[in-house]
Amino acid sequence: MQTDLSRRSVIKAVGGAAFVLAFYPLARNAPPVAAGAVLQPNAFLEISPPDRVTLWLKKCEMGQHIHSALAAIAADELGADMATLNVKQADTDARFGFVGTGGSYAVAGFWRRARPLFAAARDMLETAAAAAWDVGKDEVKVAGGVIRHAASGRRAPLGEFAAAAARLAVPEQPRLRSSSEFLYIGKVAGHRDVERIVNGSARYGIDVRMPNMRFAAIARSPVREGVLEGFERRATLAVPGVQEVFAVGDWVAVVAASSWAAQQGRERLRPRWRYDRYGDVSSDSIRRQLRAALGSGDHVIRQQGKAIAGSRLQRLQCDYEMPLAQHAALEPVNATALVEKGRCTIWGPIHLATQTQGEVARALQIAKENVSVHTTLVGGSFGRKLERDFVIEAAQIAARVRGPVQLLYTREDDMMHGGMRPPSQHRLSFSFDRHARRFALDYDYAAASAWAHQDRSQLSRKGYDWAAALGAVDIPYAFQSLRVRQTDIETPAVRLNWWRGTYRNNHAFASECAMDELAAAAGLDPLELRLSLLSADLSIETFPDDPAQISAGRLRRVLALAAEKIAYRSKRGTGRAVGIACHCYSDVHTYIAHAVDVTVRAGGVRIHKVVAAVDCGIAISPDSVTAQVEGSVVFGLNSALWDDVDVQAGQVMSRNFDHCRLLRLHEMPQIDVHIVASEELPGGIGEPPLPPVIPAFLNAVARAGGPRVRRLPAGDQLELV
Amino acid sequence: MKRTLRINGQSHTVKSPGDTPLLWLLRDELGLTGTKYGCGRGHCGACTVHLDGRAARACLVTVAAVGGAAVTTIEHLHTRPRGADLQAAWKRERVPQCGYCQSGQLMSAAALLAQTPRPRDREISAAMAGNLCRCGTYARVKRAIRQVARGES
């Protein structure tokens, strides 16, 4: 793969004693830089003699081991030694451009856009070394931090020719490494900071500490848009350690010398809010709202084929219901902020640093250039830390006091005030002729809109919440006739946000369970039905203006692999069966199939094994891929069994782990992960393995003689034994 | 009132009021941030420390209740029996995903092995049942504990 770099980047040597080869992705029309000139840096890569390589990464590390993966890609392409590679977290300095993480897109994006930059650097180092040694350029190789000339045995550390390389022109079409040259891709494993994690020195957002730092807790209305009518200061200020108490709009901040004092102070505030609205909203009222919207079919988002007719036509209608769910990452949201001399600095476990920078600037009414956001290690997110409200609050508190302040959400705050997984209701109406093997689907669903909370401008791009269509618009089965219709509802009383896998979880649950129901109604094996309907590739717009390609063959392959590895065809005893489900996470061209082996008896389900087959293209870190699949299976089983949120009178009542049950060590089933060997472009793995987990499990339960669960959580009908 | 607590082998004179949970004393007054806050109510185990070698949830133990007990935190795990072995096993098995719960996981595992050097599976399950992991690293946690218990380091 070759790529044109000349307009996008330039190499320069930064002067002084250290010769530095630095990469600067520049604006299109920026003039090339003469060697030796000093420029404001705009860099992701810095190389200095003898072999010091520094890499700035824009992605936040939240457990998906993205720093390991991106460092491996960079080190392999450049020829650096990963053991001595220095990785830094890019902040919102303008030279880095947009800083944000999401969509499981980091590896795919880096592979396409950043590899050429490292390849160009390597090319120039090879050219410079060849010139210095007076040998042919193709005789020089850079790998593992060393430049070598095999024929003569000469070698030098990678940084030795940095200054000489900096005087060369940027190659327009640098050669990218072939996979046979990779030292790290395909082998790197684990968290880069594992040493500090196991010895307790790893610093998450909540662990940020600096001199004179204080701690804050906020009392917020438990019902959205509550109007603050009053609170008591005296008792709060009397708590040892509490130093300041003030209102910001409709919330009240308590600033103290310690987290505990801030929380204790907040307990004494006795704040009063007036709720003008939402007092009648509950989980049940939202469910009714969705049910009423189901069938409106406001937006036809896909339509193809002709209706099937015939005297042998049968029909099947299945309705499915997906409730709210919380993220429940172990580190609650938090942010540390310092406002002084018109500048605001932020530290925190934040996905979207650049977006946060802009929103904080607007909230404080200062220029965005005067706001810096530093992303810390993230203690789990699953989408929770995409939100910015907790950062803006921290900044607003810091703007009112002296010195740095850390705003910590307690577990209750985190669960009450975070946006949640959008609920939805689904109706799949099949008509089919089982003898002629013709199938038609009319898929209708009502979904609560997350974009309505996160960015309303997205609703006008296509006239509906296009994110709620992910997983519905790209159903991969070649039905003879397929119509997909969406109706949006809004839930202003209950904030919604992206939850790992987004709406693909909702649609995979409904459609993959329905496929099994269709198979049963048609007297067909569920695996065989799917394989036969995965007969055509699909090209379809999912993200606006962005067509996704779905390979039927790659999806068939993972289904067949999962089925093979779980011995799908083996006879199992009464009450025991295997269920399957598959999904193409087309946003990052990653293909997943799960097969779950269960026994159901007397209202209890035992999970013997989960087999996952993954095609994520080139797996940068197979061990991390395996870990993400394992984690997704636990996350998905949890959701199938227990995830739900109780909302009463406009308030989130599920506020701690006593009302949000999480799977424990002894409840984790055996999980076998099989990664398809592939030379395809790397996809993503943080979210893709999740959507098919719920339906694979529920299909197993039904096939084992248990109930056909159409309304989650299944734990209302089934106990995990 | 000032108290003296013995933490990680050292005496500390502390200022936090007696009803302060040990968790916040460690994190805010002493700057020992390795012990994590996850729920504040003893549900999640992220705050697990040792009191005289036994696992305790630091969010539920007040400074006053610690008394003369020896407190050990993750920062001193390597000094506990099998502590360094557990840390090595955690690295070998690539246990952590986000890593936030792992201080608590390691401390619970160390307390278990100090009590029961060769635990059966059900003893591992019971000892670790109070340590939640949202990333789902349990299979690797269990594998790492078994390895250390079997002396495979």
Q: Encode pLDDT of A342-368 as tens digits.
A: 999 999 999 999 999 999 999 999 999
Q: Is the pLDDT of residue A47 over 70?
A: yes
Q: Is the pLDDT of residue A69 over 90?
A: yes
CA of A481 vs chain B CAs: smallest distance (Å): 40
Reported as a pLDDT band with limits 50, 70 and 90, residue A14 is very low
Residue of A nearest to B136 (CA): A631
Average pLDDT over residues A508-534: 98
pLDDT, tens digit (0-9, with 9 covering 90-100), for A567-616: 999 999 999 999 999 999 999 999 999 999 999 999 999 999 999 999 99
Asked if A658 and A623 sit in the same domain, the reply is yes
Residue of B nearest to A629 (CA): B136
CB A619 within 8 A of CB A691: no
Q: How much is the pLDDT for A31?
A: 38
- Test A665 with B43 for CB contact under 8 angstroms: no
Specify the CATH architecture of the domain B77-149: Orthogonal Bundle (1.10)
Contacts B34 to A, Cβ<8 Å? 199-202
pLDDT, tens digit (0-9, with 9 covering 90-100), for A135-150: 999 999 999 999 999 9
Asked if A91 and A228 sit in the same domain, the reply is no
Contacts B44 to A, Cβ<8 Å? 330, 657
Reported as a pLDDT band with limits 50, 70 and 90, residue A459 is very high
Whether A198 is covered by a domain: the verdict is: no
Reported as a pLDDT band with limits 50, 70 and 90, residue A503 is very high
Asked if A646 and A545 sit in the same domain, the reply is yes
- Test B96 with A632 for CB contact under 8 angstroms: no
CB A333 within 8 A of CB A387: yes
Average pLDDT over residues B21-48: 98
Q: How much is the pLDDT for A160?
A: 86
Average pLDDT over residues A460-483: 97
Amino acid at A670: Q
Q: Is the pLDDT of residue A562 over 80?
A: yes
Asked if A453 and A512 sit in the same domain, the reply is yes
Residue of B nearest to A411 (CA): B39
Gap between the Cα atoms of B31 and A257, Å rounded: 13
Contacts B97 to A, Cβ<8 Å? 63-65, 191, 380, 627-628, 631
pLDDT, tens digit (0-9, with 9 covering 90-100), for A280-309: 999 999 999 999 999 898 999 999 998 888
Centroid of chain to Cα A272: 37
Contacts B124 to A, Cβ<8 Å? 665
Write down the mean pLDDT value for chain A. Answer: 92
Q: How far from A80 is each of A47, A77, A84, A125, A172, CA to CA, in Å?
A: 10, 8, 8, 11, 21
Gap between the Cα atoms of A494 and A453, Å rounded: 9
The token pair at A230 is: 């009053």
Report the share of chain A in percent with pLDDT over 90: 86
Contacts A257 to B, Cβ<8 Å? 28
Contacts A411 to B, Cβ<8 Å? 38-41
Contacts A656 to B, Cβ<8 Å? 39-41, 43
Reported as a pLDDT band with limits 50, 70 and 90, residue A2 is very low
Burial of A95 (0-12, 13-18, 19+ CB in 10 A): middle
Asked if A473 and A553 sit in the same domain, the reply is yes
Residue of B nearest to A378 (CA): B98
Average pLDDT over residues B96-112: 98
How many interchain CB pairs under 8 A, A with B?
181
φ, ψ at B128 (rounded to 5°)? -100, 0
User: What strands, in cross-sheet order, belong to the sheet with A299-305?
Assistant: A299-305, A481-489, A438-448, A424-433, A314-322
Q: Is the pLDDT of residue B30 over 70?
A: yes
Contacts B91 to A, Cβ<8 Å? 190, 194-195, 198
Sign of CA dihedral A349, B45, B49, B84: negative
pLDDT, tens digit (0-9, with 9 covering 90-100), for A659-679: 999 999 999 999 999 999 999
Residue of A332, A379, A664 with shortest CB distance to B98: A379
- Test B129 with A215 for CB contact under 8 angstroms: no
Q: How much is the pLDDT for A27?
A: 35
Q: How far from A630 is each of A276, A513, A611, A634, CA to CA, in Å?
A: 45, 21, 10, 6
Q: How much is the pLDDT for B81?
A: 82
Q: A116-140 burial, b if ≥16 CB within 10 A, otherwise e? A: bbbbbbbbbbbbbbbeebebeeeeb
Reported as a pLDDT band with limits 50, 70 and 90, residue A173 is confident
- Quickly list DSSP for A552-600: HHHHHHHHHHHHHHTTTTS---TTEEEEEEEEEEGGGTEEEEEEEEEEE
Residue of A nearest to B100 (CA): A379
Gap between the Cα atoms of B113 and B101, Å rounded: 19
CA of B73 vs chain A CAs: smallest distance (Å): 9
Whether A44 is covered by a domain: the verdict is: yes
Average pLDDT over residues A201-205: 98
Average pLDDT over residues A181-189: 96
Give the CATH H-level superfamily of domain B3-76.
Beta-grasp domain (3.10.20.30)
Q: Is A638 helix (H, G, I), strand (E, B) or coil?
A: helix
pLDDT, tens digit (0-9, with 9 covering 90-100), for A602-629: 999 999 999 999 999 999 999 999 999 9
pLDDT, tens digit (0-9, with 9 covering 90-100), for B39-65: 999 999 999 999 999 999 999 999 999
Q: How far from A705 is each of A195, A430, A575, A701, A711, CA to CA, in Å?
A: 47, 23, 6, 7, 17
Q: How much is the pLDDT for A51?
A: 80
Asked if A256 and A135 sit in the same domain, the reply is no
Asked if A450 and A358 sit in the same domain, the reply is no
Average pLDDT over residues B120-148: 98
Gap between the Cα atoms of B124 and A102, Å rounded: 36
SS3 of B7-53: the string is ECCEEEEECCCCCCEHHHHHHHHCCCCCCCCCCCCCCCCCCEEEECC
Q: How much is the pLDDT for A43?
A: 53
The token pair at A706 is: 């248990």
- Test B33 with A206 for CB contact under 8 angstroms: yes
Q: Which of A181, A213, A235 is the last residue of a domain?
A: A181
φ, ψ at A446 (rounded to 5°)? -115, 125
Whether A564 is covered by a domain: the verdict is: yes
Q: How much is the pLDDT for B153?
A: 56
Asked if A300 and A219 sit in the same domain, the reply is no
- Test B96 with A194 for CB contact under 8 angstroms: yes
Residue of B nearest to A637 (CA): B136
SS3 of A241-296: the string is CEEEEEEECCEEEEEECCHHHHHHHHHCCCCEEECCCCCCCCHHHHHHHHHHHCCC
Asked if A119 and A228 sit in the same domain, the reply is no
Contacts B126 to A, Cβ<8 Å? 666
Gap between the Cα atoms of A669 and A396, Å rounded: 45
Whether A233 is covered by a domain: the verdict is: yes
Domain count of chain A?
Answer: 3
- Test B41 with A656 for CB contact under 8 angstroms: yes
φ, ψ at A529 (rounded to 5°)? -60, -45
Domain span at A100 = 9-181
- Test B33 with A410 for CB contact under 8 angstroms: no
Average pLDDT over residues A438-453: 98
Asked if A53 and A109 sit in the same domain, the reply is yes
- Test A204 with B35 for CB contact under 8 angstroms: no
Gap between the Cα atoms of A317 and A186, Å rounded: 45
Q: Which of A365, A389, A408 is the last residue of a domain?
A: A408
Q: Which of A198, A416, A721 to mutate to test the interface with B (most CBs of B within 10 A)?
A: A198
Gap between the Cα atoms of A650 and A223, Å rounded: 5
- Test B96 with A197 for CB contact under 8 angstroms: yes
Reported as a pLDDT band with limits 50, 70 and 90, residue A13 is very low
Asked if A599 and A524 sit in the same domain, the reply is yes
Residue of A nearest to B125 (CA): A666
CA angle A577, A580, A585 (to 5 degrees): 165
Q: How much is the pLDDT for A164?
A: 84
**CATH classification at residue A164:** 3.30.365.10
Q: How much is the pLDDT for A270?
A: 97
- Test B100 with A379 for CB contact under 8 angstroms: yes
Q: Which of A359, A374, A408 is the last residue of a domain?
A: A408
What residue ranges do the domains of chain B occupy?
3-76, 77-149
Asked if A33 and A172 sit in the same domain, the reply is yes
pLDDT, tens digit (0-9, with 9 covering 90-100), for A84-99: 999 999 999 988 889 9
Q: How far from A402 is each of A214, A215, A255, A338, A549, CA to CA, in Å?
A: 9, 12, 11, 8, 53
ipTM of the predicted structure?
0.98
- Test A62 with B37 for CB contact under 8 angstroms: no
Q: How much is the pLDDT for A16?
A: 28
Tell me which residue of A636, A628, A664 sits closest to A380, measured CA to CA. Answer: A628
